[in-house]
Amino acid sequence: MIAGKTWRETRGMALAYLVILELLCAPVLLLWPDIYADLQRSTLFRSMPFDFAKRIFEGITDPKESAAYLSWCATMLFFRSTNLVATAAAVLFGTALFARERENHTFEFLLSRPVARGTILWQKFWPTALCVTIPIYLVNASAIFWSRCIDFDLPKWELFLASTHAAVFALCFLAATTWLSVRLRVQAHVAAAVGAFAILQIGIYLTQRIRQFSLFRLADYEWYSPILAGNTPAWQMFDPIRGHGFTTYLLAATGLFYALAWRDLRRAEP
């Protein structure tokens, strides 16, 4: 019941979000053969103040064009599109989950139905989580088709791994926003809190000396490029003992935020 209603409420926005991701993906991939030549002549990136921008430039101007194309995809599909749009979508969907119910005075109605609060949270969360993550997989799958249009092949397994990491990153933001949506009474306050956190993280990311402490360090070019190049196998992403395991840590953080949301929803009063 609640899941169906959540799906009806989010499907329109999810479709718009999918279209935006696709619009960010298809044209930039199709630009590739021309932009590769232009970038090799360009000196713009060399003069950029950020080290990571220089490294991106070195990647996408690699003398071996197939390697350069993978760097281009890592930058455009993940560092630019998914990070930006998927995180924004996760925040947008998440703020609405409970704070909007409070603003519309439907929170009390919902809590007074004969359904457990844990079920309410779950039935609101999972359709939203699917709306946030499925477009990431769909758009990145479509990148295989667009790449073939310009005679390039994208490695499917590596693309799936990178998409999974991007989906988990967005999911973590969704869970954190859901928790705040349970705690705060006004939707705008939730958006402001998450927005302030994201801006702080971007600020940290752009400061060379403390960049490794930024959450966005876990979803930047240097994270996705090795995955797409096949240098980060799945076990390294998921196994915290043998590998770095940061995808698992992000999943654990998602679980933690979900648990916090559940704890606070159980205590919530209308």
Partner 1 sequence: MNAAVMVRGLHKAFGQKQVLRGVDLTIAKGELLGLVGPNGTGKSTLLRALIGLVQADAGAITVLGRDPRQASLAIRQHCCYLPGETGIYQQLTGAQFLHFALGFYPHHDQARRELLLRAFDLPLHQKVRSYSAGMKQKLALLATLIPDVDLYVLDEPDRALDASVRFCLREVLLAMKQQGKTILLSSHHLNEVEALADRLQFMLDGAFVATTELDAARAILRRRPRLRLRQGEALPSGARELQRDPNGTLVVETDGDPMAWIRSLPDGIVESAEIGIPRLEDLYQTLYASRPRGDA
Candidates 108, 186, 199, 210: give the one binding partner 1 (CB under 8 A).
108
Q: How far apart are CA 151 and CA 209, in angstroms?
A: 40
Q: How far is the CB of 4 from partner 1 (least distance, A)?
A: 8
- Cα 16 to Cα 11, 79, 89, 214, distances in angstroms: 9, 20, 10, 29
Sign of CA dihedral 189, 93, 5, 126: negative
Contacts of residue 249, defined as CB under 8 A and 6 or more positions apart, other chains included, come to 240
C-beta closer to partner 1: residue 51 or 108: 108
C-beta closer to partner 1: residue 19 or 115: 115
3-class DSSP state of 242: coil
The interface with partner 1 within residues 112-131 (CB under 8 A) comprises 112-116
C-beta closer to partner 1: residue 102 or 165: 102
Candidates 64, 66, 209, 269: give the one binding partner 1 (CB under 8 A).
269
The interface with partner 1 within residues 88-107 (CB under 8 A) comprises 104-107
Site string for partner 1, 248-267 (x = CB under 8 A): -------------------x
CB atoms within 10 A of CB 128: 27
The binding site for partner 1 (CB under 8 A) comprises 1, 5, 9, 104-116, 267, 269-270
